[in-house]
Homo-oligomer: A and B are copies of this chain.
Amino acid sequence: MSITPLPPLDRRQAATAVLAAKKRTGVRWADLGKAIGMSTEWTTAALLGQHPLTDDQAATLGSALELDAAVVEALTLPPVRGKDVSDSSEPLVYRLQEVVQVYGSTIHELVREEFGDGIISAIDFELELERVPDPKGDRVRVTLNGKFLPYRTW
């Protein structure tokens, strides 16, 4: 019976290998984004398994991170969205969830007043993270930018 040619790594294992390589090489997320001409945020998400990467993008990132060929190949697999590398009990991620719990109804009401019946797209969507210097302690500004999608009626 022959040996089955299964892909040697999946996207989650590739993300773990990327984190290890990033520590080893000292390259920064912003450098990786520039290498493929994409934003830092999108590139980070893609390397963590949340977006697809083309063969060219994977090869370029593989060179920058000195990744093994098997990891580069795994980076071209379909993304595994929704289940994150970070656990929901991870303290930083939990606080983002708390923001949704505390301010979800506020965002809902403000969108309903301003735009009408619809949602903020999580697909036609951009995320940006910036450091905001502050004498009382620097701050993190996370910008969620999504297209308003009105409910179709028919």
Interface size class of A (residues with CB under 8 A): 35 or more
A95→B121 contact, CB < 8 A: yes
Does B140 contact A154, Cβ atoms closer than 8 Å?
A: no
A28 to B: closest C-beta gap in Å:
6
A window 1-51: CB within 8 A of B: 1-9, 13, 15-17, 19-20, 28-29, 38-42, 44-45, 48, 50-51
Copies of this chain in the oligomer: 10
Are A38 and B153 in contact, CB atoms less than 8 angstroms apart? yes
Whether A111 is near chain B, meaning CB under 8 Å from some CB there, is yes
**Closest-CB distance, A18 to chain B (whole angstroms):** 10
Complex: A13 Cα to B43 Cα, angstroms:
29
Whether A144 lies near B82 (C-beta < 8 A) is: no
Complexed CA–CA distance, A17 and B5 (Å): 8
* Interface residues of A, Cβ cutoff 8 Å to B: 1-9, 13, 15-17, 19-20, 28-29, 38-42, 44-45, 48, 50-52, 68-71, 78-115, 117-127, 129, 131-132, 134, 136-154
Q: Given A123-B149, A137-B147, A139-B146, output 10 extra A-B contacts at Cβ < 8 Å.
A: A1-B8, A2-B69, A5-B17, A41-B110, A44-B106, A86-B104, A92-B108, A96-B144, A99-B144, A103-B127
